Amino acid sequence: MIKEIFKNLAAGKNVISKADLPALSAEEEKKLIDLQKGIDRIFGKSLRIRQVDAGSCNACEWECTALTNPVYDIQRFGIDFVASPRHADLILVTGPVSRQMELALKKTYLATPEPRIVVACGDCTIDGGVYKGSYAVTNGVANVIPVDYYIPGCPPSPGDLLSGFLKLLVTITK
Ligand code: SF4
């Protein structure tokens, strides 16, 4: 693999060209365009997300991360993940909220400027999912902070996340 990369570089070829990437479906492209219109209108062209892993198995994080890869490339629409809740418009929570993360999640919520939006991503966030009933979890995000919108799935795909963000925009503009 490394040899191939160096060979391509030496030959002046792009290691990965746009044509090598899987294309989005027409439906996914439409979702992205609609999402951009909503973000332009509601958030002044910039939606900043603070993602909080509240005890997930990490599969939900992989799907969230995929939103920033060259296929989905959500940064081109003004959506990005930020490190500090103080810079965020939206908190995206994954996991059943483990007891260890309960206080951290509350602090993150309080540190996010109002009007803050909370989106709970994945089945675990609804009622604990596969961890439901364990002594170590709080059985869902709503037991710790208020939730504005749920995106179900185990894990939800990047397409599901895009649809969820779109429906959220419709909900908050009603
Ligand atoms: S919803 Fe599923 S994929 Fe997401 S953190 Fe829970 S178990 Fe993992």
Domain CATH code at residue 125: 3.40.50.12280
Phi, psi dihedrals of residue 162, rounded to the nearest 5°: -60, -45
In the predicted structure, residue 44 carries a pLDDT above the cut 80: no
Mean per-residue pLDDT, 152-159:
94
Establish if 2 belongs to a structural domain: no
Q: Which residue has the higher pLDDT, 34 or 172?
A: 34
What spacing in Å lies between the alpha carbon of 52 and ligand 1's midpoint?
Answer: 13
Q: Say which residues have a Cβ less than 8 Å from residue 14's Cβ, sequence separation at least 6.
A: 8
Establish if 158 belongs to a structural domain: yes
Strand partners, 117: 90
CB-based burial of residue 78 (10 Å sphere; 0-12 exposed, 13-18 middle, 19+ buried)? middle
> For position 19, what pLDDT does the model report?
58
Q: Would the CB of 57 count as within 6 Å of ligand 1?
A: yes
Establish if 110 belongs to a structural domain: yes
Q: How far apart (Å, rounded) are the C-alpha atoms in residues 88 and 90?
A: 6
In the predicted structure, residue 89 carries a pLDDT above the cut 80: yes
Establish if 59 belongs to a structural domain: yes
Q: Which residue has the higher pLDDT, 125 or 41?
A: 125
Q: Would the CB of 95 count as within 6 Å of ligand 1?
A: yes
Establish if 18 belongs to a structural domain: no
Q: By residue range, what is the domain housing residue 119?
A: 47-173
Establish if 117 belongs to a structural domain: yes
In the predicted structure, residue 14 carries a pLDDT above the cut 60: no
> For position 81, what pLDDT does the model report?
94
Q: How far apart (Å, rounded) are the C-alpha atoms in residues 81 and 70?
A: 15
Establish if 7 belongs to a structural domain: no
Mean per-residue pLDDT, 47-74:
93
In the predicted structure, residue 18 carries a pLDDT above the cut 60: no
Q: Which residue has the higher pLDDT, 11 or 169?
A: 169
Mean per-residue pLDDT, 56-62:
97
Q: Would the CB of 158 count as within 6 Å of ligand 1?
A: no
Reading the block at residue 59, the tokens are 């599969």
Give the total number of structural domains in the chain: 1
Phi, psi dihedrals of residue 93, rounded to the nearest 5°: -105, 140
In angstroms, what CA-CA distances link 23 with 20, 159, 166? 9, 13, 20
Q: Would the CB of 124 count as within 6 Å of ligand 1?
A: yes
Phi, psi dihedrals of residue 7, rounded to the nearest 5°: -60, -45
What's the pLDDT band for 43 if we cut at 50, 70, 90?
confident
